Homo-oligomer: A and B are copies of this chain.
């Protein structure tokens, strides 16, 4: 390098440091205004992958921080048993885990039984949310049970709005989240499918889908 290129590179780096210092100051200022804490209603929806896994990520963070939490799985057949197996094996002291559903409704073909299971899961969910020891309760695939009218949307909304303890986080996952639920929620993420290997004939694989 000539002395001139070295000088240019150094001045580039100095400009970068200055720009980033400004960015940091702006960010710190914004973050300083965010001081509130509350139990959030969190919704993961959309056709993409990761709705349940991202929710389990928060459950794992709770466990890592030694905080109590609970999971109700409304649809057993939702394939990803890895997180469940790990929680049951290693962390059942911190995380109360219930798998209530029998599978997707087209697998069971018994609507009366599906409704009964979904109702039982919802009763368990209410009990876990009311328990002030639980810092987070995950209702995995509950949106599907709501969509099929196996549990009543209005009742879910009413319960979350009036009976959820103020500091408890409740996470609701599944495709086709109802607009009214999105309206009530504090944090909503839509997992959008951009590209999927099923289209090229690749099957569900161990460690990826389950």
Binding site for B on A (CB under 8 A): 12-13, 16-17, 20-21, 23-24, 27, 31, 33-38, 40, 42-44, 46, 48-58, 60-65, 67, 69, 80-83, 85-86, 90, 105-112, 135-136, 169, 182, 185-198, 200-208, 210
> A200 to B186, Cβ gap below 8 A?
yes
A48, B54: Cα distance in complex, Å: 11
> A203 to B36, Cβ gap below 8 A?
yes
> A61 to B49, Cβ gap below 8 A?
no
A190, B109: Cα distance in complex, Å: 33
> B203 to A169, Cβ gap below 8 A?
no
Identify which of B40, B67, B112, B207 contacts A197 (C-beta below 8 A). Answer: B40
> A54 to B50, Cβ gap below 8 A?
yes
